[in-house]
Amino acid sequence: MRVIHFCKTYFPDSVGGIEQVIRQMCVGTGRLGVTNQVLSLSRAADLAPFEFEGHTVHRVPLDFELASNAVSVRAIGALARMAAQADVVHYHFPWPFTDVAHFLARIDKPTVVTYHSDIVRQQALLKLYQPLMHRFLGSVDAIVATSPNYLASSAVLDRYRDKTRVIAFGLDRSTYPEPDPARLAHWRARVGPKFFLFVGVLRYYKGLHILLDAVQGTDYPVVIVGAGPIEQELKAHAARLGLENVMFMGALDEPDKVALLELCYAVAFPSHLRSEAFGISLLEGAMFGKPMISSEIGTGTTYINVHGESGLVVPPSDPEALRAAMRTLWDDPDMARRMGQRAEARYWQLFTSAQMADEYAALYRELVARRAPARIAAVPAR
């Protein structure tokens, strides 16, 4: 079974939730006999294909971006050539250029779309894009929603329920490095023994301004790991509020990130817009047995974090509610510990990479088998 993943960006050009998910898909299904290749866009000078954890990464030059929509003319030909040798083409939505490339490359192989998120921010452009979007989604063989919550709350997915199924994202704990004692001691000395942790790319929908507002006037230590387009804006906001209990760490490598996940008291994940469709770093918190605080935005964040079970869920864009939730966890270590234990149990029950890989591999086989009778019927009788 040969599968092509077509995505806007991938390792090593960018590091984020979608990249981590595609990596976990490739590694997990690779163990089940699937040969995976990833085709992505890049600004790098050296675009030679390379092997990465058992799958091959191909990159083509990014020509330009318009409203976050990356475009590459050479990607169309590359997609056509690679799809001709593949059994399944796997797209990752939203990325409007995908729709154009799909039709211009004349893809005639089984196709699946992982529906990562609705389009939330570009509402004016969405009106122009909708006809193409619906033509594309209507043409593919299967759509995957990443949580039952998102399937239930997305007006777009509601239109395609007959071809949509839920496969939750999963992580493989064994792919995360074990931090050595010296590294743990270093971070414990630097950030203290008890702190809230946020990990992620610093984007507009992460709600970090709400977290900063929530901790104003408190002494709860908050460690923010990640870089991104609004990093300086957030630092300026923290300075205006006079926050001395917030530490911006920037982007860290995996061993340091894991060390902080091991050490943190709880995970704070204040994303307030539906652009946060799942929350991989929230799932990482569950995998490391940490209680979580997140917002109810009708997406996978509340599938990962169940209020009162694995953590606390608050209304979005509500600093007072977020502060109250932080206080509740901070003041009750026994409750926090029990919630962390239940969070980890929920990870093992629902969110492992092996489960995700099993379900995607089964879907790939189903799509290929579904096409086979049609191809046989199309062969003229002799």
The mean per-residue pLDDT over the stretch 178-195 comes to 95
Query: What is the C-alpha separation between 263 and 254, in angstroms, rounded?
Result: 14
The mean per-residue pLDDT over the stretch 14-20 comes to 84
**Hey, what are 22's tokens?**
């595609």
The secondary structure of 32-64 as a DSSP string is: TT-EEEEEEEE--S----EEETTEEEEEEE--E
Residue 374 in domain = no
Q: Which domain holds residue 202?
A: 176-350
Query: What is the C-alpha separation between 72 and 90, in angstroms, rounded?
Result: 18
Query: What is the C-alpha separation between 270 and 294, in angstroms, rounded?
Result: 5
Q: How many CB atoms lie within 10 A of CB 171?
A: 22
Q: Using the Cα atoms of residue 319, residue 321, residue 324 and residue 326 in order, give the sign of their dihedral.
A: negative
**What pLDDT score was predicted for residue 80?**
97
| Residue of 355, 359, 313, 311 lying closest to 337 (CA atoms) | 311
Kindly give the pairing relationship between strand 69-71 and strand 64-66: antiparallel
Question: What percentage of the chain reaches a pLDDT higher than 70?
Answer: 96
**Hey, what are 138's tokens?**
């209507």
The mean per-residue pLDDT over the stretch 329-342 comes to 98
Residue 372 in domain = no
What digits encode the pLDDT tens for the residues 255-278? 999 999 999 999 999 999 988 989
Statement to judge: residues 303 and 326 lie in one domain: yes
Q: How many CB atoms lie within 10 A of CB 187?
A: 20
Statement to judge: residues 195 and 116 lie in one domain: no
At residue 376 the predicted structure's pLDDT band, cuts being 50, 70 and 90, is very low
The mean per-residue pLDDT over the stretch 66-94 comes to 94
Residue 167 in domain = yes
**What pLDDT score was predicted for residue 122?**
65
Statement to judge: residues 153 and 296 lie in one domain: no
pTM score of the predicted model: 0.88
**Hey, what are 68's tokens?**
């976050």
The mean per-residue pLDDT over the stretch 346-375 comes to 91
What digits encode the pLDDT tens for the residues 290-314? 999 999 999 999 999 999 999 999 9
Residue 253 in domain = yes
The letter for the amino acid at 261 is L
Statement to judge: residues 199 and 101 lie in one domain: no
Statement to judge: residues 32 and 55 lie in one domain: yes
Q: Can you give the CATH number for the domain in which 180 is found?
A: 3.40.50.2000
pLDDT, averaged across the chain: 93
At residue 175 the predicted structure's pLDDT band, cuts being 50, 70 and 90, is confident
Statement to judge: residues 344 and 357 lie in one domain: no
What digits encode the pLDDT tens for the residues 204-246? 999 999 999 999 999 999 999 999 999 999 999 999 999 999 9
Statement to judge: residues 168 and 204 lie in one domain: no
Q: Give the Cα-Cα-Cα angle 147, 149, 154 (nearest 5 degrees).
A: 100
Statement to judge: residues 125 and 204 lie in one domain: no
Statement to judge: residues 346 and 358 lie in one domain: no
Statement to judge: residues 42 and 85 lie in one domain: yes
Please, which residues bridge with residue 267 across strands?
A: 197, 292
Residue 375 in domain = no
Statement to judge: residues 125 and 228 lie in one domain: no
**What pLDDT score was predicted for residue 223?**
98
What digits encode the pLDDT tens for the residues 46-60? 899 999 999 999 999
At residue 15 the predicted structure's pLDDT band, cuts being 50, 70 and 90, is confident
Checking if the pLDDT of 172 tops 80, the result is yes
**What pLDDT score was predicted for residue 67?**
75
Statement to judge: residues 76 and 108 lie in one domain: yes
**What pLDDT score was predicted for residue 342?**
98
Residue 363 in domain = yes
Residue 381 in domain = no
Residue 379 in domain = no
Domain count, the chain: 2
Question: What percentage of the chain reaches a pLDDT higher than 90?
Answer: 86
